[in-house]
Amino acid sequence: MTESQTVKSKRAQVSDRLQKKYPDREWADDEALFGQINDDYDEYENTLKEKTAAEERLGGMFSQYPQSARFITDMANGVNPWVAMVEELGMDGITDIFENPEYKEELARAQEEHMKRLTKSHELEEEYSKNLDESLNVMKGAQEELGLSDEQIDSAVDLLMEIANDAIVGKFSRNSLELALKALNHDADIESARAEGRVGGLNEKIEAKLRKSRSGDGVPALAGSHNAPSRQRGNESIFDLADQA
C-alpha cells in the first residue's frame, strides 16, 4: 500500500455505499446514517418475507398439481403452454379431466364465469364502439364550429386521454386540477366579463352626457318665437343620466 492510499473507515464505506443508492440524500450524523440503514434493513426483510411466501405458495401448487411445474418451466423457456399440456397429459388425458365427475361442478362453474366475462367483454366493446361514433361526431361538430385544425383536436383528445388514464390509477396532477377548475368557473367568468362590459359601456355614455351638458352643442341660440330658449332643467344626478343613457 502506498503512502498516497488511505483506508476508509467502515462508516465512510457505508456512507459511500448509501450515497450511490441515494445520490440526493445526506446523512449529517450517525443518527441519520443508522436511521437510513435501519430503514433499508426493514425493506430488505419485508421483501424477503414476500419472496418466501410466494415460493411457499408456488411449492404448494407444484405439490398439488405436479404437471404445473412442467407448464411453468416450458412457458419460461418460450414453449407454447397448450402444446406442453398435450405433451404432458395427452389428448385423452385432457378429455378425461373434463369427463371426471369430481371436476364436473367446478368445471361447470368455471365455464359459467367464462361466459359471463365473455358477455361482459362483448357488451363493453359494443358500448365503446357506439360511444366512439358519437364522440367522433361531437369532435367533428366542435372542429367546424370553432374552426379548429386536426392537430388542435388531436392535442385536446390526447390531453383528455391522459387525464382519464391518470384517473384510472388514482393520479391527479396539478395541471389536471387547474384545467378542471377553469372549466367549472368558465361560465361565471364569462358572465362577469359581460357585466364588466355593460358597466363600462354605461360609464362611457354617462361621461359623454356630462361632457355635452357642460359644453352645450356649440351653436348660438337665434331670437324668435320659434327659437325661444328651452326651459332649463334642474341639476340632474348621475342616476338620472344613467336612466337616459
Task: Tell me, yes or no, whether 92 lies in a domain.
Answer: no
Residues 114 and 145 in one domain: yes
Question: Domain total for the chain?
Answer: 3
What mean pLDDT, rounded, does the chain reach?
79
| % of the chain at pLDDT higher than 70 | 73
Query: Taken in order 114, 116, 119, 121, is the CA torsion positive or negative?
Result: negative
Residues 119 and 161 in one domain: yes
Task: Tell me, yes or no, whether 126 lies in a domain.
Answer: yes
pLDDT digits (tens, 9 = 90+) for 161-204: 888 888 888 888 888 888 888 888 766 656 665 656 555 556 66
| Calpha distance 83→71 (Å, rounded) | 9
Whether the predicted pLDDT of 245 surpasses 60: no
| Calpha distance 157→142 (Å, rounded) | 12
Domain that holds residue 200: 173-211
Residues 166 and 107 in one domain: yes
Residues 156 and 178 in one domain: no
Task: Tell me, yes or no, whether 152 lies in a domain.
Answer: yes
Residues 115 and 149 in one domain: yes
Residue 52 is predicted with a pLDDT of 94
Burial (CB count within 10 angstroms: exposed 0-12, middle 13-18, buried 19+), residue 188: exposed
pLDDT tier at 9, thresholds 50, 70, 90: confident
Between 161 and 225, whose confidence is greater? 161
Between 209 and 30, whose confidence is greater? 30
Whether the predicted pLDDT of 42 surpasses 60: yes
CA distances from 184 to 133, 152, 177 (A): 26, 22, 11
Residues 132 and 179 in one domain: no
Task: Tell me, yes or no, whether 78 lies in a domain.
Answer: no
Residues 150 and 198 in one domain: no
Between 205 and 46, whose confidence is greater? 46
Distance from the Cα of residue 243 to its chain's centroid: 52
Domain-ending residue, one of 121, 146, 170 = 170
Q: Which residues contact 88 (CB under 8 A, 6 or more apart)?
A: 67, 70, 71
| Calpha distance 42→34 (Å, rounded) | 12
Task: Tell me, yes or no, whether 186 lies in a domain.
Answer: yes
pLDDT tier at 24, thresholds 50, 70, 90: confident
| Calpha distance 121→115 (Å, rounded) | 10
Residues 180 and 158 in one domain: no
Name the DSSP letter for residue 7.
P
Whether the predicted pLDDT of 46 surpasses 90: yes
Task: Tell me, yes or no, whether 218 lies in a domain.
Answer: no
Whether the predicted pLDDT of 22 surpasses 80: yes
Q: What is the pTM of this model?
A: 0.38
| Calpha distance 230→24 (Å, rounded) | 87
Domain-ending residue, one of 170, 190, 219 = 170
Residue 241 is predicted with a pLDDT of 47
Residues 14 and 40 in one domain: yes
Residue 236 is predicted with a pLDDT of 52
pLDDT digits (tens, 9 = 90+) for 194-205: 656 555 556 666
Task: Tell me, yes or no, whether 18 lies in a domain.
Answer: yes
